[in-house]
């Protein structure tokens, strides 16, 4: 097992996992949400992708780089017409005021 990539959130981790698995690379997500004892706040960590087979590491990194580059190109950031917030591409709704992208 080898640490491959620290993801921004659970959704990204899941998308990368699906992408890698479609290339027959076995990966697992660790460091996910850790639930504290009852009544305590949950500690949230960034999910981390690990390759199960060390030999897949180089190929895995390559695929992640490609995937991230593609997703950035496919979805350039946009500015909300209503509140002026800069929204990360890929979102169709402003996270700040919930206006749809125009
Ligand atoms: Zn907005």
Measured distance between the N- and C-terminal CA atoms of the chain, rounded to whole angstroms: 44
Mean pLDDT on 9-26: 93
Structure confidence by residue, pLDDT tens digits, 29-88: 987 555 444 455 555 568 899 999 999 999 999 999 998 888 766 667 889 999 999 888
> How far, in Å, is the centroid of ligand 1 from the Cα of 100?
8
Could you tell me which residue, 6 or 73, shows the higher pLDDT?
A: 6
> How far, in Å, is the centroid of ligand 1 from the Cα of 93?
8
Does 5 have pLDDT greater than 80? yes
Total-model pTM: 0.61
Protein residues with C-beta less than 5 angstroms from the ion ligand 1: 80, 82-83, 85, 94, 96-97, 99
Mean pLDDT on 16-32: 91
Three-state secondary structure string covering 51-100: ECCHHHHHHHHHHHHHHHHHHHHHCCCEECCCCCCEECCCCCECCCCCCE
Could you tell me which residue, 47 or 20, shows the higher pLDDT?
A: 20
CATH topology of domain 2-75: Alpha-Beta Plaits (3.30.70)
pLDDT at 43: 55
Domain extents in the chain: 2-75
> How far, in Å, is the centroid of ligand 1 from the Cα of 77?
13
Mean pLDDT on 2-29: 93
């Amino acid at each position: 097992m080898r640490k491959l990539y620290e993801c921004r959130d659970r959704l990204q981790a899941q998308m990368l996992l699906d992408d890698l698995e479609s290339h027959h690379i076995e990966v697992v997500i660790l460091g996910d949400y850790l639930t504290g004892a009852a009544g305590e706040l949950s500690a949230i960590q960034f999910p981390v992708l690990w390759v199960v087979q060390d030999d897949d590491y180089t190929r895995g990194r390559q695929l992640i780089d490609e995937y991230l580059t593609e997703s950035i190109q496919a979805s350039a950031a946009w500015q909300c017409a209503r509140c002026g917030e800069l929204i990360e591409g890929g979102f169709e709704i402003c996270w700040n005021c919930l206006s749809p992208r125009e």
